[in-house]
A = this chain, B = another copy of it.
Amino acid sequence: MKQYLGIDMGASSFKYGIGNSRDGLLHFGTVRIHEKSLEAVRQNILALLEDVKDFHFEGVGLGTPGTIDRKTGKIFGVNPNLKFFTDMSPAELFPKDFPLPVLYDNDANLMALAESSYEPCRLCFGVTVGSGIGGGIIVDGKIFHGAGGFAAEIGHTIAVLDGIACNCGMQGCLETYASVDGIRRRLQKAQSPFADMDLPTIIAQSKSDAFVKKTVAEGETHLIQALANICNILNPDLIVLGGGAMDLGLYDIDKIREEVFLRISLAHRKELKIELARFGNRAGVMGGIILCERS
């Protein structure tokens, strides 16, 4: 079975790996971003290509933050965590003479692609909870993009009409309540002493400090409502929750499962599984590899 290079471009580091979906990853590595510039990102790509030069692989599958316009193939609009990286094709990060095909998609779409490939399902909705909230829809093994490439944006569904201002320019988006940055901003606004602590500390405080507890619980409730709505609209048979905040236990998967099931009809519950992501921080890399395999 052929090998591919999967790359997951994060805001602070790139993860990458060589492998395929049958044998897993032969090699896995990380390069940190030292500077938020296009030139630095291109240097990172060169560095990781150098690291894997002794492996044979047939193509590259790249996951990127930001939304990709399927008509132009370019990142569209503001890319909040990598602001310089917009209005260009992610494939342009590679040297002009790079000899292999470079496929790419949104990072949350590739996470969903990877997670859906290890659990029998017809329609998988994948969610990543981290500094923001991303989503991906997989239908019969393929990424579902909607009309222009901008589907699955669960983080920007409206949790509270005319609510808190979001990075995206809109108001009341789910991620302003339920993402790590959203929770942090709400703690800051209330001058909570825990606002600037790291996520494990915030999670620990959510067991004891009443305000932190309430803020996290509200985020969880908004996420539950958004997932129930996803069930009504898409009728998934698999929902996978991943991302750094799920890995660390910000929200309780058993509670999410129970509460979503209470809020959807028997028809929608019938075949639905709600699970934690299995691949942890390697899902994006594996998703890039599977994107190549299925192209």
Contact = CB atoms under 8 A, between A and B. Distances in A.
Interface of A: 67, 69, 76-77, 121-123, 135, 137, 145-154, 156-158, 161, 168-171, 221, 225, 228-230, 232-237, 263-268, 270-272
A170 B270 contact: no
Contact of A151 (B148, B233, B271): B233
A148 B228 contact: no
Nearest to A125: B233
A245 to B, nearest CB: 20
B236 A147 contact: yes
6 nearest CB pairs, A to B: A146-B235, A147-B237, A151-B235, A123-B147, A153-B232, A150-B235
A230 B170 CA distance: 15
Nearest to A140: B147
A265 B156 contact: yes
Contacts of A169: 265
Contacts of A121: 147
A270 to B, nearest CB: 6
16 contacts: A76-B267, A77-B267, A123-B146, A147-B235, A147-B236, A147-B237, A148-B235, A148-B270, A151-B235, A154-B233, A157-B229, A158-B228, A168-B265, A169-B265, A229-B229, A233-B234
A146 B236 contact: yes
B150 A267 contact: yes
Given A157-B233, A236-B146, A236-B147, A170 B264 contact: yes
* Copies, count: 2
A266 B156 CA distance: 12
Contacts of A237: 147-148
B158 A268 contact: no
A173 B158 CA distance: 15
Contact of A150 (B157, B229, B268): B268
Given A150-B265, A150-B268, A153-B232, 13 more contacts: A77-B265, A122-B146, A122-B148, A146-B235, A146-B236, A149-B235, A149-B267, A150-B235, A151-B234, A151-B235, A152-B233, A153-B235, A161-B221
A153 B233 contact: yes
B147 A232 contact: no
A145 B144 CA distance: 13
A242 B239 CA distance: 31
A73 to B, nearest CB: 14
Identify the interface centre among A150, A161, A221, A233: most chain B CB within 10 Å of its CB.
A233
